[in-house]
Structure 1
Amino acid sequence: MDFKPLSQFIDSITSWRIPWAEVLVMYRNETVFRYRNGYVNLEERTPIDDRRIINIYSMTKIMTCVAALRLVEKGAMLLNDPLSAYLPEFTEMFVQKTLSDGEVIRERAKQPIRVRDLFTMTAGFSYDLGAPSIKDVVTRTNGKVPTRSFAAALAKEPLLFEPGTRWNYSLCHDVLAALVEVVDGRRFSTYIREEITGPLDMQDTGFALSGEQQSRLAPQYTYNEALGKPIRKDGNAYRIGTEFESGGAGLLSTVSDYVLFLNGLTNQGTSPNGIRILSPASVNLMRANYLSERIRDDFSWEQLKGYSYGLGVRTHVSKADSGSLSPLGEFGWSGAGGCLAIMDPDSQLTVMYAQHLLNNQEPYVHPRLKNIMYACLGL
């Protein structure tokens, strides 16, 4: 294994427009490569170090889906159950449609949202955190927005399409977090800590930071095209309330921490020291292809050609379409700040890539990173 091309790639992107980047590669449960370069704080020229906490944004979705799948394993709910069996506010939903003359109408949905639709982004929701009902719940709760209250507010908004008929990246997993709360009875963050991060000894992963952890939070940037440089832009716009534990984008973590969780999934649901977070059957269910050919037309992001969508993750289904060196069945997801998870049970490979830049250059960085890494491994 020669990882020099991978380190050279990290050097090239951090000399380009990304303030810092780090990659950790695990093979057969051993760390075979870890490399970082760049400045965590551009203003102070502070080099990136190994304990920095970042917003992992949508990589939260992987953990949220694992949390919910644990309840499926226990028989507490089924993927084909109607969502309204647990969250009654979703009993009667309406679909917004635009007629040929431009008139916008609302019609009663003909079929229910099912639990599986939350996992697979086929419920019909949008990602509009500025919708009237969302703004209202922020006001009514004095800026707290408990996770359960968020879901109840979203239920008042019209759907974009009939549940199960299309794919749209949306607030599905934020509702899934509320579903976990209702079915299990614990607050979502408590469930995550007691069932997943605690057993895996992930001390730096959660929805809130201690004072010491706050001191390790990496500054966040966005690249300003007019100025030709990154500028500081801290905060997480998806965390719209002090009590809102966003199952879609709310977690903070470190490279060292989150790779423990990812590697457990690579190992078919069990960590190297025997902590089981899912069964092998559930991991394979998670990385199955849930989109029909027609619905896959909606899943059209450039960097995900050759992939389909599973239960909260991309899953590799066509090497001819992707041009990727990773095998079929490789799965994972990414986050708004540019982090990337790669889980490959067949190759026994886990990768955690991190950066903290909001306009993240994902279509350029992620496919290249993946191909370089697989070539370096020689698998």
Structure 2
Amino acid sequence: MPSPLSLASPEAAGMSKSALERIDRHLRERYIEAGRFPGTQLMVYRRGQLVHNSSMGLADIERKVAVKDDTIYRIYSMTKPVTSIAFMMLVEEGRVALDEPVHKYIPEWKNLGVFQAGIWPAFLTRPPSRPMQIIDLMRHTSGLTYGFQQRGNVDAAYRDLKIGEVEKAGTLQSLVADLAKIPLEFSPGEAWNYSVSTDVIGYLIGLISGKPFETFLQERIFAPLGMKDTGFFVPAEKDRRLAACYSASPQGAMTFHATDRKGGLTLQDDPATSSFLSPPSFISGGGGLCSTSADYLAFCRALLNGGELDGVRLVGPKTLQLMTSNHLPGGKTLPELSRSLFSEATYHGIGFGLGFSVTLDPARTLIPGSAGEYAWGGAATTSFWIDPVEELIAIFMTQVLPSTATPIRRELRTMIYSAINDSNL
């Protein structure tokens, strides 16, 4: 099991302490004191050392509970990379392959059509140009969607059936059964659309491994890496560590409230009554996990180290290299291929691999970075990225919906990369 990390001097890892402290001032003054975030936690790891770990503000405004190093967060879509790694462990064992048709494992999907017209439950469809493959689920080119996209009649059907909602009743089995009733938005491989695809991957992990999806994650990833605070619910003995989750009003997201600590934030999920306090029936591989910064750092350290950490191997280096390559058809970027009205990555110069966004051309992003950097984020504005070139990991935690309410991810990338003073160029 990996040993806990102590804080090292930034200069020992080629980073500027004063530049990292400037980030804390930025977060405190422009976000926490301005009422845009309740509190924040930021970890920066470089060249094998934790060089920055700051916890500021409140985890729970109503009860005035401070953010601490062991605060537990809803990481929502940061669950997706974990699920994707778990699936590739089965690929490495020869139990499944990326080019297999999904209907091999979900027979009721064999005749899924593509939407032409109509509303739920009466749809006119056409046959897809090719069957959905497992790689389509991994890279979100499946033709599936999320109900919150609110783009058309297929999205509306998802909302009617509450498909993909983390707090919904139902199970992974009922998710798969419900999806068999609704057509695809496009033929697999023709476009990119953020979707419940990774939830389906979680279902396949349980089906192929022969054990519950959550058990597979616990036995194969969380326990070996010492991720003791990561799971699909927060047990009673840890419930006081769960942060409150807030939503940003359109005005509050854009306006500073220097005299009002709560600012434009509205309580969205009270940690005293949260659905995350009890085991869910729907185990969402796309967005159901809670975790801490320290736990997620252990996961990221294993990835940065080629899939292994302190003797615990998740996947091999070549598998990780495959996962962090751009898999979008035609080598296109997300903005070129996406039909999605929402995504956790919207920059130009970004592609998508198997569970991660991947930076292809830093110049096109207009943000400092490296080709080969991979990342993702969660709906409550949590985010992470891993830069193999700079041997860098950054993890940011807060609890404010939606993640698009502020430009914090762009700002953190700019400020953290500016703190590097001996780049591996």
TM-score by length of 1: 0.91
Alignment partner of 2:89 out of 55, 70, 76: 70
* Correspondence list, 1:229-378, <5 A: 229-234=264-269, 242-271=280-309, 273-291=310-328, 292=330, 296=334, 297-299=336-338, 303-361=346-404, 364-378=407-421
Moved more, 170-179 or 86-95: 86-95
Give, in whole Å, the separation in 2 of the partners of 1:215 and 1:28. Answer: 34
Q: 1:316 to 1:137 in 2, by over 3 A?
A: closer
Would you say the 8 A contact 1:238–1:246 is kept in 2?
no
Q: Secondary structure at the match of 2:55?
A: strand
Alpha-carbon offset, residue 361 of structure 1: 4.1
Deviations for 1:222-246, whole angstroms, at most 9, x for unmatched residues? 123467521111078999x931110
Code of the aligned partner of 2:301: N
**Alpha-carbon distance in 2 for matches of 1:71, 1:146:** 22
Unaligned stretches of 5+ in structure 1? none
- Between the aligned partners of 2:103 and 2:162, the Cα distance in structure 1 is 20
Q: Once the two structures are superposed, what CA deviation does each residue of 1:186-241 show, in whole Å capped at 9, x if it has no partner? A: 100000000001100100001122101222110111123467521111078999x9
Tell me if the contact between 1:119 and 1:312 (Cα under 8 Å) persists in the aligned partners.
Answer: yes
Q: Specify the code of the residue in structure 2 equivalent to 1:70.
A: M
Deviation at 1:346, TM superposition (A): 2.3
Q: Which moved more, 1:5-14 or 1:127-136?
A: 127-136
Deviations along 1:302-340, one digit per CA (max 9) or x if unpaired, are 742221111111100011211222110010100000011
Contact 1:303 1:363 in 2 (8 A): no
- TM normalised by structure 2 equals 0.81
Deviation (angstroms), 1:105: 2.6
Partner of 1:198: helix, strand, or coil? Answer: helix
Aligned-partner Cα distance in 2 for 1:242–1:330:
33
C-alpha deviations, 1:345-369, integer Å up to 9, x for none?
2222111110100123466110110
Larger mean Cα displacement after TM superposition, 118-127 or 215-224: 215-224
| 1:247 counterpart SS class | coil
Question: Which letter maps to 2:140?
Answer: M
Q: Sort the Cα spacing of 1:303 and 1:169 in 2 relative to 1 into closer, same or farther, 3 A.
A: closer
Report the CA distance between 1:49 and its aligned residue. Answer: 1.1
Counterpart-to-counterpart distance in 2, 1:243 and 1:162 = 31
CA deviations over 1:9-67 (Å, ceiling 9, x no partner): 22232223111111101112221111122111222333211111111000000001001
Give, as a single letter, the amino acid of the residue that structure 1 aligns with 2:358: T
Residues in 2 aligned to 1:226 and 1:325: alpha-carbon distance in whole angstroms: 29
Q: Per the alignment, in what secondary structure is the counterpart of residue 342 of structure 1?
A: strand
Q: What is the percent sequence identity of the aligned residues?
A: 29
Range that drifts further, 216-225 or 230-239 = 230-239
- Is 1:8 the equivalent of 2:25? yes
Deviations 1:281-319 (A, max 9, x none): 111111101112557413486742221111111100011
Residue 276 to residue 293, structure 1, CA distance change in 2 (3 Å): closer
Counterparts of 1:330 and 1:123 in 2: how far apart (Å)? 24
CA drift at 1:341:
1.0
Secondary structure of the structure 2 residue equivalent to 1:333: strand
Per the alignment, residue 177 of structure 1 pairs with 202
Contact 1:307 1:322 in 2 (8 A): yes
* Distance in 1 separating the partners of 2:61 and 2:197: 35
Change (3 A) 1:308 1:226: closer
Contact 1:134–1:154 (Cα < 8 Å) also in 2: no
Match 2:80 to one of 30, 52, 61: 61
Number of residue-to-residue matches in the alignment: 370
Alpha carbons 2:356, 2:376 under 8 Å: kept: yes
Q: Deviations over 1:149-179 (max 9, x none)?
A: 2122212211000011111001100111011
Mapped to 2, the partners of 1:28 and 1:155 lie a distance apart of 47
The one-letter code of the counterpart of 2:139 is T
User: Whole-Å Cα distance in 1 between the matches of residues 397 and 283 of structure 2?
Assistant: 22
